[in-house]
Amino acid sequence: MTRRRRTSKGSLASAGLIAAVILAAFLYFTDAPASAPAPPPGASAGATVPAPAGPTLDSAAAVAAVAALPDAAYRDDGSYAGHRDDLFGDSWSFDFDRNGCDARNDILSRDFTAVSLKPARCVVETGTLADPYSGESIGFVHGADTSDDVQIDHLLPLKAVYATGGAAWTFEKRRALANDPVNLLAVKGSENGSKSDSLPSEWLPGVYPDVSDRHDAGQRVVWDDLPSDTALQCWYVKKLVPVFVAYELGVTPEDRAAMSAVLRTC
């Protein structure tokens, strides 16, 4: 695969953009107040949805940010398999914002309405999710047989991060990304399963069917088949790009093309 070469055109503007996006992420991390963005396009009509926090770019800024991302290749040498916790920390064991709650329950509290919480245990017992991917309204009840109805999606999947440059990161940086609210989103469990470890060239909300291990299958989104209403895909990519930027993660040519193709429809 030929690596895509970056040009110097607009480099100063791109550098300024990247600095601005990183600053926006920093302000979020330090609990600066932010106005609530509009509900995601997948939400049911009339639903009141606390949209995921963190920086969201307009279309022009997102296009420039994608163009400025460093090149990366996807290299899965097998060292991730079976070692997720060793590489990124035990699931939800890291209290990113030091509020005494784990990341999963923080995100459920953020993304649900009508939340019922056991404060002593910091566990969300019940709530309602307007799933941003399917638009369905999901009533959540904590329990062994029901908790998986709502799962926490890593916008940048951990296996993909590891395979596109994260293998060289420190453990602390990998653990931060795995628990960073900017990279996390409460979604319907089956939608999270459909996405799996996929990057944008392999999966977009509302576009791609459930296919496991798409890198091995060599399957890609066919851009001629994008639906006429791409508002959901635009929303998703605009949420994803700031995570790439904040963590200085490189992007493969396929994923750069995929995100650019979506953003051109916004």
pLDDT, tens digit, for every residue of 76-130?
999 999 999 999 999 998 999 998 899 999 999 999 999 999 877 899 999 999 9
Residue the block writes with tokens 């090149």: 71
pLDDT tens, position by position, 20-78: 444 444 333 333 323 333 445 544 433 333 334 455 689 999 999 999 999 999 999 99
Q: Residues with Cβ < 8 Å from 168, sequence gap 6 or more?
A: none
Residue 218: pLDDT band with limits 50, 70, 90: very low
Token digits of residue 193: 């399963």
Q: What is the pLDDT of residue 225?
A: 58
* CA nearest neighbour of 131 among 243, 34, 254, 43: 43
* Average pLDDT estimate for 219-240: 75
Q: Is the pLDDT of residue 258 over 70?
A: yes
Contact 124, 117 (CB under 8 A): yes
Tell me if residue 153 falls in helix, strand or coil: strand
Q: Is 135 left (phi over 0), alpha (psi -120 to 50) or beta?
A: left
Q: What is the pLDDT of residue 213?
A: 42
pLDDT tens, position by position, 128-166: 999 999 999 999 999 999 999 999 999 999 999 999 999
* Average pLDDT estimate for 2-31: 39
Q: What is the pLDDT of residue 259?
A: 94
Tally of CB atoms within 10 A around 105: 20
Q: Residues with Cβ < 8 Å from 228, sequence gap 6 or more?
A: none
DSSP H/E element including 194: helix 189-195
Q: What's 146's DSSP letter?
A: T
Q: What's 166's DSSP letter?
A: G
Question: Measured between alpha carbons, how far is 14 from 10 in angstroms, rounded to an integer?
Answer: 6
Token digits of residue 50: 């606390």
Question: Measured between alpha carbons, how far is 159 from 109 in angstroms, rounded to an integer?
Answer: 26
Q: What's 106's DSSP letter?
A: H
Q: What is the pLDDT of residue 265?
A: 87
